[in-house]
Amino acid sequence: MGSFIQSITSFFEIPGFNWKLLILGFTAANFVFDSYLSLRQIKHLKATHDKVPVELQEKIDAKTALKSQDYSLSKLKFSMFSGIYSLIQDVLVMKYDILPIVWSKSFEIMIKFNEKLPLFNFMSGSITQSLIFFGQFGLLRLLLSLPISYYQNFVLEEKFGFNKLTFKLWITDMLKEIAVSVILGFPFLAIFLKIIDYFGDNFMFYASSFLFIFQIFIVIVYPKFIQPLFNKLTPLENGDLKSSIEKLAADNKFPLDKLYVIDGSKRSSHSNAYFLGLPWGPKQIVIYDTLIEHSSVPETTAVLGHEIGHWALSHTTKMLLISQVHTFAILTLFAGFVKNNSLYQSFGFYKDQPILIGFILFGDILSPLDAFITFLMNLLSRKYEYQADEYSVNLGYAKELSNALIILHKENLSSMSVDWLYSAYQYNHPHLTERLRAINKLVANEKKQE
């Protein structure tokens, strides 16, 4: 493996090569492509602005359809603006060598901290400096994102009746997110960097194993300690819905442990449902209070039949395994850049070669490949969604699932129609009309076989 890594390193080690210009080109190209897709969708929405798809004409009135199109247009225009805002930030960071400036400042902070607290002199070295850099750069990014976040919640979402956040809750959530990032992110980053530094050319085996273990850790910790910081989970009360879901779980041998209702309406009026738990262990089903409010018992049960379909067809396990292969491949490629002198020098790092900086820059270099992989993963995800729908239909919930999907679409003001290319690249779920056609086709095939 060592010789393989060395060959990758020597292949990409091009003395004097302007990596900064390459990354700027990739960044601009990604922005142009994303903008092109958004413009296609905007054009499509304007062309179908006052039209309701045939599949939805009896279920969604023209007024709601028009509001849905307006909401979709507003989100697209806002995403294009936020894309420009993000592009300007990235260009300025590269043009004015912000990365080496923040890295140098991190070293100064580390030295001053050790001078004032000599008992903590062991907290020195590149990993400690990397953690300080991570904190500083993360805080800078957060401050720059505040105007975008504020507008999205208190202007855009507010305009269409979705925002339930108060300014106080918005700030509180932000502080909680920072605390979680520090408590979990700092130890995670320190261990990750130490593994790369300690194991040399073979780090990808150990780093990918660590990332897998960390994923499992988050799955266990999230529902018990993290989610309660933001939302209140209450056991689903005894009644028809609970009985219906428990019967569904028992009939399909789904390892249901607990049933919860989440107060999603505290922050937004969007609806959803999902399950938590390890692929091989007990599961917790979480239902948004907004879903229960707008859907009947059979419709909510049909949605959960879809979710159980994901479990029964091992979609979660398959996606987890694919994710691990992807992670290992990415780390193997990164091994060819972690000691790339020309890469670091292009960004003003002439003495130090911080692993964290190398990983950040590597991510920018990898962006075109990541875009392609995202497209493939979306295709796979869409396939899994069709299969989960089919599973729910086979349970006898064809009509209820269709109605539930329409209600979710209506209540979330999702777009009435989408441009095919925009949908293929941006959506990891098929559009509602596509799902309804597939469900109707399944029902028609069943009738033919009878």
Give binding residues as ranges. Answer: 306, 310, 385
| CA-based nearest residue to 335, from 195, 201, 211 | 201
Torsion sign (Cα): 169, 174, 179, 184: positive
Could you list the active site residues?
307, 389
Q: Are 347 and 94 in contact (CB under 8 A)?
A: yes
Between helix 126-151 and helix 355-365 the angle, nearest 10°, is 40
Helix (H, G, I), strand (E, B) or coil at 162: coil
- The strand pair at 283-288 and 256-262 is best described as parallel
Extended beta strands in 161-244, E state: 233-235
- How far apart are alpha carbons 65 and 53 in whole angstroms? 10
- How far apart are alpha carbons 277 and 219 in whole angstroms? 6
439 CB contacts (<8 Å, ≥6 apart)? 389, 393, 398, 401, 402
Q: Is residue 22 exposed (0-12), middle (13-18) or buried (19+ Cβ within 10 Å)?
A: middle
Q: Are 290 and 270 in contact (CB under 8 A)?
A: yes
Torsion sign (Cα): 345, 348, 354, 360: negative
Q: How many CB atoms lie within 10 A of CB 247?
A: 11
| Residues tagged in the binding site annotation for Zn(2+) | 306, 310, 385
- How far apart are alpha carbons 67 and 62 in whole angstroms? 9
- The C-alpha torsion from 422 through 423 and 427 to 431, rounded to 10°, is 150
Residue 228 has φ and ψ, to the nearest 5°, of -60, -15
275 CB contacts (<8 Å, ≥6 apart)? 283, 284, 285, 286, 307, 308, 311
Q: Are 210 and 192 in contact (CB under 8 A)?
A: yes
